Structure 1
């Protein structure tokens, strides 16, 4: 939805509603897994398209040659997306570790535990909203070709502004 200029907040809320039957940690993991499939495929094709005939064919089918041809000149811009993905994984990992703390040693009414627990939904929301923004950038990158790549990557930091 965001690829066409949609609202990242509305899309994130839609994803959260779809996953409403799951715990907050599972919402983050499921959304990251779905994004990882597409993002991983994009990077695998990007890495192998010059040496692997199958990757080259996939790049052609997905209309990636123009983007991949200019990959080196856009490397620093792609690093922004990669760093955000790493941060999302780190926060998700922390949430999972937190949820795995042994309950027999921690009282559920401990102020620190209550405070930390209240921040998890916000963290998951921002993980999902970041995924939506990254997916939107990558979708636009692939769909529009090189002439729009630089503009989209320059706008990436603004995709996360609070509305």
Structure 2
């Protein structure tokens, strides 16, 4: 089921015409909470957190005292699946409709995974590409191969955008889109652990939270898709996302964090 948008071009650029109810109808008709694949979300969160924070320290020129955690050594990533997600993340056009369709495609790829796993695997695919870019940049002054590869990937173009408002809205800042998505995934994981052990005590709250998970996971993936396109636009020197779209996504993830934070305050 696809979402219907107004034919007014200006409204197509606003999430105000993209309601949670419409999104829910779109995803619930195609997806249920997959339980067939066991998933260690804690290790994936540690892995993604390490990649993104280390890459951003390199980006900011803070290369001293970099420490690498081994908390995620037991991760056995589904390489083929991550490659499929990466392909979806890198081949779309800007805007809400394209991000929505890409999100649905990614959900189709991850149909057998639990909802939280869908979100963290999408963020893992994003982090893999992002980390690779800055890893190459880190060694480009010492390694001719790394320098050549970083040139091919467009890293010099990306570096020109580091101080731009839009780049810092997507990454680097604690309240950026990607860091907020990671924080939302951590909150969901905390709540799942709590409700797993206290489901009888807070059954009504647990049920309300469970109903929110698919929608929250959808929006996390949608935001990652939009953020990846913005980063890709810097690498390719092409048009990025509209500023008002990024602003609305910031409002959306802030709202999600507020909702999850409210649950955490109760439990």
Cα RMSD for the two superposed structures: 2.7
1:103 aligns with 2:196: yes
SS in 2 for 1:100: helix
Given the alignment, which residue of 93, 102, 116 partners 2:209? 116
Structure 1 residue aligned with 2:219, among 99, 112, 126? 126
1:81 corresponds to: 170
RCO comparison, higher one (Cα < 8 Å, 6+)? 1
Say which is worse superposed, 24-33 or 53-62, in terms of deviation: 53-62
Aligned to 2:102: 11
Residue by residue over 1:114-133, the C-alpha shift from the partner in whole angstroms, topping out at 9 and shown as x without a partner, is 11111111110011001110
Structure 1 Cα separation of the partners of residues 158 and 179 of structure 2? 22
Query: Quick check: which one's helix share is greater?
Result: 1
Provide the TM-score with structure 2 as the length reference. Answer: 0.50
Match of residue 43 from structure 1 = 134
The aligned residue for residue 52 of structure 2 is none
Matching of residue 2 in structure 1 with residue 92 in structure 2: yes
Residue 22 of structure 1 aligns to a residue whose secondary structure is coil
Structure 2 residues without counterparts, runs of 5 or longer: 1-90, 250-267
Q: What's the TM-score once normalised by structure 1's chain length?
A: 0.78
Q: Secondary structure at the match of 1:2?
A: coil
- What SS class does the counterpart of residue 21 from structure 1 fall into? coil
Report Cα offsets for 1:75-121 as digits up to 9, x if no partner: x4321111111000000111122222263432287211111111111
In structure 1, runs of 5+ residues without a counterpart are: none
Equivalent pairs, count: 153
User: Is the 2:103–2:222 contact (alpha carbons within 8 Å) kept by the matching residues of 1?
Assistant: yes
